[in-house]
Amino acid sequence: MVTIECRLMNYDVGIQVHGLAVPKGFDHDVVSGSAILDMYAKCRKLGESLQFFREMPERNCVSWSAVIAGCVQNEELVGGLELFKEMQQEGVGISQSTYASVLRSCAGLSAVRLGAQFHAHAIKAGFRSDIIVGTATLDMYAKCDYAFQVFRLLMKSGFGFDDISLSGAFSACAMMKGYLAGIQVHGLAIKSIFWTDVCVANAILDMYGKCGALMEAHFLFDEMEIRDAVSWNAIIAAYGQNGYEEATLSLFVWMLRWGMEPDDFTYGSVLKACAGRQALNCGMEVHNRVIKSGMGFDLFVGSAIVDMYCKCAKVEEAEKLHDRMEEQQSMVSWNAMISGFSSAEKSEEAQKFFSRMLEMGVKPDSFTYATVLDTCANLATVGLGKQIHAQIIKHELQSDVFISSTLVDMYSKCGNMQDSRLMFDKSPKRDFVTWNALICGYAQHGLGEEALRVFDEMQVEGRSGQVSHALRFIHEMPFQADDVIWRTLLSICKMHGAVEVAEEAANSLLRLDPHDSSAYILLSNIYADAGMWDQVSKMRRVMKCRGMKKEPGCSWIEVKSNLHMFLVGDKAHPRREQIYENLDLLLAEMKWAGYVPDTDFVLMDEDTEGEHVEELISCTS
């Protein structure tokens, strides 16, 4: 009975069943006791679950596993790890579900080293081939951005792979949105015996969906001989995550016609699609189906329904449903309500709801604070905004780009441009919203010159940021960059004047080919663009010491099946006199039109005289 209430997450009924168990002494039974503490944990009452656990006269591996899993489910990840340590000290045997829970804790904390230790511990305990432990291990590595490297090492070692490691590799590609890497692993899967495995196919579907490759995902889905609920959920989520709400709803109808029963994940994706399209009638139909299925008070589904009604401008209906959920109220539900009031231009109601949330002991997250700060901006209530700002600093959330952007906007709309600029300058990360908030703030206060100055700053930083992003992408590639990639990046640095990235690109290029003169030439030109003439001279001296010269510029053209090649300063071409005569005419016309040759960036040998510079430029034109 307790297990049933646990699955339904019905706290009130669970308490009643607990009350019936006490007079009969079932609460002292280790099996019933484990079910009771599991019930409290799944009903989001972790404190009561831990208290019951401590009072149990007898505890076994099931009890320990349940309470550790409860900590993980309630996002008390460190608490779960501490209980695992205590469990070890008491000498209790470890089950597969316990390993799965602590590995999920490591995934949530991005603690890859600790996770690797648990992985080794599980292997020593004989769980090397266990599916549950293996899946949790790969999930941990994937969420720590490490799974794909592990898979590569596995392939290099010659041990091969199985369906679990293959699924884990696809999950890793999905997490890092590594489309190219995913295609390569897909090729391996096709050549293996696991190609027809439904779990592997589902992992591929999920990978393509998260990488935005909907054509590949749909083609794979159509080709699948066996489709389970996970397959349908993966293809529905793929379209939903990429903003194709109408296709998401069509796939849901198709799923029902195939006789598949939707689960909480299905309803979550479909309700999100209804919210995105503001399709109230469709959302209400899905809500009715949810009620009939008995999932109306499911934490995940209930929060999605509240969000749907808010996005469809039915905040009153959403509030009624939120209040009925009581113990199943999640952070998503609270945020949906506050955001719904804010979107409906009911900022005061949003702030009241925020106060109510704090009174109930619910801890706000970044989205909550950002939404309430937005209401402060709308109402120009700078006092409340400063209080929330203090809470943000206390919880160390100021590094969140979403929050920092909202702070810039809030202070500017409250007429305090000094603090707005201060928040902007202190932002560790800036996106378009951050820049736009400051620019609009200056413009709205009649400070046009400051707004234009910030706009110029944004353009300069944006260009350098793009180059840095390209460098980061190269470092994160699943294979080593070759000389073509580094030379391309070096050329991009020339366009954007990114000196530091250019130096790294040139060094990487020269490690691959120490005699590549193009790396020196490109880097020298970048230094010249930046006015770093000492570095230009240094590049020239290095090239001279190593006996390297700039390869002469070369071009060619085919005329009437004859190939004509031209080199810089070429004196050997049979029609050179006619060529130079026409070139002189072109140069004369260019000068007459006002062209002035730019001699700053011509890489010259030390014995090159100044009067020959223009001649050199004309030969390279």
Q: Report how far residue 421's alpha carbon sits from residue 441's, in angstroms, rounded to the nearest whole number.
A: 9
Q: Report how far residue 256's alpha carbon sits from residue 238's, in angstroms, rounded to the nearest whole number.
A: 18
Q: Is 241 exposed, middle or buried (0-12, 13-18, 19+ CB in 10 A)?
A: middle
Name residue, tokens 């604070």: 369
- Bridge-based pairing of strands 554-559 and 562-567 is antiparallel
User: In CATH terms, are 1-144 and 466-546 the same topology?
Assistant: yes
State residue 570's pLDDT score.
65
Break the chain into its structural domains and give their ranges. 1-144, 363-464, 466-546, 555-618
Residues 286/274, Cβ–Cβ less than 8 Å: yes
Q: Which residues contact 236 (CB under 8 A, 6 or more apart)?
A: 248, 251, 252, 255, 266, 269, 270
State residue 61's pLDDT score.
85
Instruction: Give the residues across from 532 on adjacent strands.
Output: none
Q: Report how far residue 80's alpha carbon sits from residue 69's, in angstroms, rounded to the nearest whole number.
A: 7
Which residues does the chain have with pLDDT short of 70? 1-14, 16-28, 142, 144-150, 153-154, 157-160, 326-329, 459-466, 473, 476-479, 548-556, 559-561, 566-570, 572, 595-621
Q: Report how far residue 147's alpha carbon sits from residue 165's, in angstroms, rounded to the nearest whole number.
A: 9
Task: Give the N- to C-terminal CA distance of the chain in Å, as an integer.
Answer: 87
> With left for phi above 0 and alpha for psi between -120 and 50, is residue 93 left, alpha or beta?
beta
Comparing CA positions, the residue from 163, 250, 176 lying closest to residue 203 is 163
State residue 217's pLDDT score.
92
CATH of domain 1-144: 1.25.40.10
CATH of domain 466-546: 1.25.40
Q: Is 104 exposed, middle or buried (0-12, 13-18, 19+ CB in 10 A)?
A: buried
| Type of residue found at 361 | G
Instruction: Give the residues across from 556 on adjacent strands.
Output: 565
Q: What is the DSSP string of 551-592?
A: PPPEEEEEETTEEEEEETT----TTHHHHHHHHHHHHHHHHH
Residues 166/200, Cβ–Cβ less than 8 Å: yes
Dihedral over Cα of 9, 15, 16, 20: its sign: positive
* Distance (Å) of CA 512 to CA 297, 431, 522, 549, 567: 61, 35, 16, 19, 27
* Distance (Å) of CA 140 to CA 115, 148, 181: 7, 12, 19
State residue 147's pLDDT score.
64
State residue 250's pLDDT score.
93
Torsion (CA) 27, 29, 31, 37 in degrees, nearest 10: 30
Contacts of range 558-562, beta carbons closer than 8 Å, 24 or more positions apart:
none
Residues 9/328, Cβ–Cβ less than 8 Å: yes
State residue 448's pLDDT score.
80
Q: Which residues contact 533 (CB under 8 A, 6 or more apart)?
A: 527
Q: Report how far residue 519's alpha carbon sits from residue 510's, in angstroms, rounded to the nearest whole number.
A: 7
State residue 252's pLDDT score.
94
Comparing CA positions, the residue from 226, 225, 265 lying closest to residue 248 is 265
